[in-house]
Structure 1
Amino acid sequence: MLRDNINTAVKEAMKAKDERKLSTLRMVNSTIKNADIEARGQGKPPLGDTELLSLLQKMIKQRQESVELYDKGGRAELADQERAEIAVIQAYLPQQMSDDEVKAAISVVITETGAAGIKDMGKVIGALKAKYAGQMDFGKASGMVKAALAG
């Protein structure tokens, strides 16, 4: 489904002659194909939507790191280019949860899994990833889970 949306958007960007969107979507498609090839080499099927969401989040995180470096280096034009790519990629992610929504989801999952301490952190993160893939930043969420399990 997500692949189809991206491929349709590539065609629309071509018709609209939107070079920035077109080049970003082609890069996304290339990254997806490379990940599929890698999965096939390991005997796995092509990536599903959940894995694709994770891949898109990784791409966004890489661009955010680049923006920071470009801003520090005084390269505003390159930082703006990365921000434009982030905006295009984010359009294919589900709406991100607010911090309050993430905290509520964490408490529900902790209750559901019966997590009692830090040793259960992996179980909680795994359940969150299964339920909320693409909807939260798991780097931030893991800190919240750790705090909830420790407190």
Structure 2
Amino acid sequence: MGLKEQINDDVKNAMRAKDSARLGTLRLLTAEIKKKEVDERVDVQDGDVIAILGKMIKQRKDSITQFEAGGRQDLADNERAEMTVLSAYLPAAMSDAEVDAIVAAAIAETGAAGPQDMGKVMGVVKAKVAGRADMGVVSARIKAALAK
């Protein structure tokens, strides 16, 4: 069963359980999936769904920061709850050692010599860690590795 089908099943289960908070978040997710399908005229695959999830989680993190800065803890808590629901569909996060190993392999593969090769390395690493690691952290690790 694909990720999209799993999400659709979970929407039905949330309706049956009358779990309105979870249902609302899942409906937002299915709307984003349908939007991508219609806009690009494609049938989304698991990789596409993971990219959508990553984008939505990043939006939630940004919103939490803004709400907390504005003193709206209630709204920040709602965003955290949505982020928890969305995170359940992402693959397991990579450890720091796994990320470092992928970065080292990408540097060797591309023949990167310094910070000017950041884009080449990032392109290779991004394909391998998509949805499994925070790209901000990955970027910092690449910069640190290239600075050596």
**Offset at 1:46?**
3.1
Secondary structure at 2:7's aligned position in 1?
A: helix
Instruction: Give 1:14's aligned residue.
Output: 15
Tell me if the contact between 1:21 and 1:85 (Cα under 8 Å) persists in the aligned partners. yes
Instruction: Give 1:129's aligned residue.
Output: 126
The answer for unaligned runs of 5 or more in structure 2 is none
Amino acid at match of 1:91: A
Instruction: Give 2:94's aligned residue.
Output: 97
Q: Percent identity?
A: 50
**Offset at 1:54?**
1.6
Cα distance in 2 for partners of 1:58, 1:3 equals 16
**Offset at 1:11?**
1.0
Residue-by-residue CA offset, 1:21-62 (whole Å, 9 max, x unaligned): 11100000001111222212xxxx333222221211111111
**Offset at 1:15?**
1.4
Instruction: Give 1:147's aligned residue.
Output: 144
Within a 5 Å distance, the mapping from 1:79-118 to structure 2 comes to 79-118=76-115
The answer for unaligned runs of 5 or more in structure 1 is none
**Offset at 1:87?**
0.1
Cα distance in 1 for partners of 2:7, 2:85 equals 10
Instruction: Give 2:48's aligned residue.
Output: 51
Tell me if the contact between 1:39 and 1:47 (Cα under 8 Å) persists in the aligned partners. no
Amino acid at match of 1:47: V
Cα distance in 1 for partners of 2:6, 2:120 equals 32
The answer on 1:78 being equivalent to 2:75 is: yes
Cα distance in 1 for partners of 2:75, 2:115 equals 41
Instruction: Give 1:29's aligned residue.
Output: 30
Matched positions, count: 147
**Offset at 1:105?**
1.8
Cα distance in 2 for partners of 1:120, 1:130 equals 16
Cα distance in 1 for partners of 2:67, 2:46 equals 31
Amino acid at match of 2:142: V
